[in-house]
Amino acid sequence: MADEKPNIYSDRFSGKRVLVTGGSRGIGAAIARRLGAEGALVAICYRTRSFEAEQIAQAIVDNGGQAFTIQVDLEKSGSAQQMLEAWDETTRSLVGDNRLDALVNCAGITSAAPLTEIFEHAYDRIMAINTKAPLFVSAEGAKRMYQGGRIVTIGSGAATQPGSLNGAYGMSKAALLAMTRSLAVELGPHGITANVVAPGYTKTDNTAHMLSVPDFAEKVKRVTARDRLGMPEDVAALVCWLASDDSGWVTGQWIEASGGYKMVPPI
């Protein structure tokens, strides 16, 4: 983190098994690293960045933990089931059964066109990756949460805050609230919680082009209560708490991790 040290617990996830989509880069990579550092067996799912995903898995293993990678393109029909079948195969060989304790839906893409000008194929793609995939991954994941579980899905402030090019992205993220509240009700009796974490501007590959526009990062900081930009580790801290046993009484919630973005009024 930029100005503070995360409080890494040595064994909060000891004996726990967690799958993270979008684990090769950015926020998902920080989540995977932290889960591994806190004792979880972590499946790091990625689409193209096998090198980065393998590096994260190897670092966890070198540190005495357990981790493996799964390649998946979540835009494709049937990909959620295939990803969880890959989970089944590897966890059965590593630990004897396919129990899943927590799932983090982090993979996502952004839109780059005004809502009224977006091409149909671009809309379908963003909805497939950001909205449809978290639903089917959660449904497949929940089948493996025999001892209860945690589903954490990454939303975005764009769900309620329109920008010039992010209308379709906002739509895809807003739907995650309805999804999460339904999952919370349907799965609550099975000891499974579902929550959304909505990051503010966070320094990743995804935002590099925006944050490199002169003065843009300064403007974001100026309206942020914590007076700095978010780092992936800032978001990972909340996600990991929601993925832990401690969060059992919190479900169906949309929680912002933005350092208080837009709380400071522009003068």
Distance, CA of 114 to chain centre: 25
73/99 with CB nearer ligand NAP:
73
Smallest gap from residue 61 Cβ to ligand NAP (A): 19
**205 touches ligand NAP by CB under 6 A:** yes
Among 31, 35, 43, 106, binds ligand NAP (CB under 6 A): 106
Among 241, 242, 240, which Cα is nearest to 253's? Answer: 242
Smallest gap from residue 11 Cβ to ligand NAP (A): 27
d(C-alpha 17, C-alpha 250), whole Å: 20
d(C-alpha 72, C-alpha 46), whole Å: 6
What 3-state DSSP class applies to 56?
helix
d(C-alpha 112, C-alpha 201), whole Å: 16
d(C-alpha 117, C-alpha 142), whole Å: 37
Smallest gap from residue 7 Cβ to ligand NAP (A): 22
DSSP string, 151-174: EEEE--GGGTS--SS-HHHHHHHH
169 flagged as catalytic: yes
Among 18, 27, 37, 118, binds ligand NAP (CB under 6 A): 27
Among 43, 56, 86, 129, binds ligand NAP (CB under 6 A): 129
Residues 6+ apart with CB under 8 A from 252: 180, 181, 184, 185, 194, 195
**107 touches ligand NAP by CB under 6 A:** yes
129/194 with CB nearer ligand NAP:
129
d(C-alpha 241, C-alpha 135), whole Å: 21
Task: Give, in order, the Cα–Cα distances in Å from 75 to each of 1, 47, 53, 137, 162.
Answer: 31, 10, 19, 12, 24
Among 75, 181, 221, 255, binds ligand NAP (CB under 6 A): 75
Piece of the chain touching ligand NAP by CB under 6 A; list 6-14, 86-94, 183-191, 201-209: 201-209
* Residue in 46, 169, 201, 261 annotated catalytic: 169
What 3-state DSSP class applies to 148?
strand
**207 touches ligand NAP by CB under 6 A:** yes
Mark 212-241 with x for binding to ligand NAP (rule: CB under 6 A) and - for no binding: ------------------------------
Piece of the chain touching ligand NAP by CB under 6 A; list 6-14, 24-32, 95-103, 217-225: 24-32
Instruction: Return the active site residues.
Output: 169
Binding site for ligand NAP (CB under 6 A): 21-22, 24-28, 46-49, 72-75, 106-109, 129, 154, 156, 199, 201-202, 204-207
